[in-house]
Amino acid sequence: MPREPILSAESIEAAAPASAPSRETLARLRDDEIALRPRHMGEMVGQRKVAERLAIAVDAARKRKEPLGHILLDGPPGLGKTTFATCIPRDLGVALQITSGAVLTAPKDLLPYLTNAEEGSVLFIDEIHRLPKAVEEFMYPAMEDFRVDIILGEGAGARTVNMKLRPFTVIGATTRTGLLSAPLRDRFQIREHLEFYSIAELSEIIRRNAARLRVVIDDEAAEKIARCSRGTPRVANNRLRWVRDYSTVKANGHASLELTDAALAMLGIDELGLDPQDRKYLETILRVFHGGPAGVEAVAHTMNTATDTLTDEVEPFLLRSELVVRTPRGRKLTSKAYEHLGETPPESEPELPLFQ
Ligand SMILES: Nc1ncnc2c1ncn2[C@@H]1O[C@H](COP(=O)(O)OP(=O)(O)OP(=O)(O)O)[C@@H](O)[C@H]1O
Ligand SMILES: [Mg+2]
């Protein structure tokens, strides 16, 4: 089979200019999210160790006037990957381009971003685990040597052109480091994993954002929202917005503990911060799979939900809360989950290893 040209002269011309972030990306950076998103790393709450390490890397790059090493951020949704990726270039004083692995379907989609990258600027690639193999391979020399190999033309007339790029920094974000190929992962000099936030950190975020959203919130009410936010700032902000709306209608914009309890109860959020979807997951394992072990695909099918939604959004917090465990044979409820659902845990039976 003749080798597919990676890029043709026409496709390079046709490729969209990379100066503006894609429409999808803009949609994801919803207006109000932008309003609450910290603008500098110094404004971020929590993730102290990660922020300190990144601040040193940023300072060093600035002092040496060299581009920052490529950075890979991973962790469950809503913990601050995009926030770090937007704060870092601002702190560095360099330009930022934003794209996503989901929209870079071929090398020609990535090329404009690479050629537009100014010296020392940042290219943020969200959902980097979704990059197709061909795009990933196209990135290797771009990240390592700041050059790309472009094949122009087809068949016997094809020739490779080596194009030099200005040194730049890739910041990749993923909820799934496991899906990244080793060669791509190894090209990131700095790799950071984001963890869930403590109640104190979330309370701080909520208090700060309450002022921005012009709602008066009592400290106990802020802590209550923090406890119900699954260790996640995005969830905390969403709950806070709901409490603000509720308090606007019911209490002239003053969120007391009592009012916050009522607002959260109306959303079906329980005292562990689980929402109806989390409880449906636990109840499905309990009733359909007799407490497990159950394969996550089977649970997803039964719930009529995508497996990715369960593994990326629902399970990380339930696992961390010790409501579910992963066994070699599948997901299993813990006695804490039984108690939370008001059921009696079964007599514990030893878990058999998978292969015996
Ligand atoms: N450390 C922090 N301090 C204060 N607010 C934060 C922090 N981290 C995140 N947030 C808030 O949470 C929101 C969600 O964070 P962000 O978009 O960075 O998450 P993400 O990890 O990129 O999620 P996803 O995987 O879904 O893309 C932000 O808009 C911001 O308001
Ligand atoms: Mg993000």
User: Candidates 1.20.120.160, 1.10.8.60, 3.20.20.10, 3.90.226.30; correct CATH number of 199-266?
Assistant: 1.10.8.60
| pLDDT at site 11 | 46
SS3 labels along the chain: CCCCCCCCHHHHHHCCCCCCCCHHHHHHCCHHHHHHCCCCHHHCCCCHHHHHHHHHHHHHHHHHCCCCCCEEEECCCCCCHHHHHHHHHHHHCCCEEEEECCCCCCHHHHHHHHHHCCCCCEEEEECHHHCCHHHHHHHHHHHHHCEEEEEECCHHHCEEEEEECCCCEEEEEECCHHHCCHHHHHCCCEEEECCCCCHHHHHHHHHHHHHHCCCEECHHHHHHHHHCCCCCHHHHHHHHHHHHHHHHHHHCCEECHHHHHHHHHHCCCCCCCCCHHHHHHHHHHHHCCCCCCECHHHHHHHHCCCHHHHHHHHHHHHHHCCCEEEECCEEEECHHHHHHCCCCCCCCCCCCCCCC
Radius of gyration of the chain (CA): 24
Asked, colleague to colleague, whether 199-266 and 276-340 share their fold, the answer is: no
Query: For the chain, which residues score pLDDT lower than 50?
Result: 1-6, 8-19, 356
Q: Residues with Cβ within 6 A of ligand 1?
A: 33, 36-38, 44-47, 77-83, 173, 175, 205, 233-234, 237
Q: Which amino acid is at 303?
A: M
Q: What is the number of the ligand 1 atom nearest to the C-alpha of 236? A: 12
| pLDDT at site 154 | 83
Is 175 an annotated catalytic residue? yes
| pLDDT at site 153 | 82
| pLDDT at site 178 | 80
The residue nearest atom 17 of ligand 1, judged by CA position, is 82
Candidate of 83, 84, 194 to mutate for ligand 1, largest count of ligand atoms within 8 Å of Cβ: 83
Q: CATH code for 9-193?
A: 3.40.50.300
Is 82 an annotated catalytic residue? yes
Q: Which long-range contacts (CB under 8 A, 24 or more apart) does 57-63 make?
A: 57/190, 58/88, 58/91, 58/92, 61/92, 61/120, 62/92, 62/93
Q: Comparing C-alpha atoms, which of 74, 67, 66, 125 is closest to residue 97?
A: 125
Residue ranges covered by each domain of the chain: 9-193, 199-266, 276-340
CB 172 within 8 A of CB 188: yes
Pairing of strands 324-327, 330-333: antiparallel
Q: Which of 25, 74, 81, 279 is catalytic?
A: 81
Candidate of 29, 54, 82, 174 to mutate for ligand 1, largest count of ligand atoms within 8 Å of Cβ: 82
User: What is the 33 CA–ligand 1 centroid distance (Å)?
Assistant: 9
User: What is the 195 CA–ligand 1 centroid distance (Å)?
Assistant: 12
Q: CATH class for domain 276-340?
A: mainly alpha
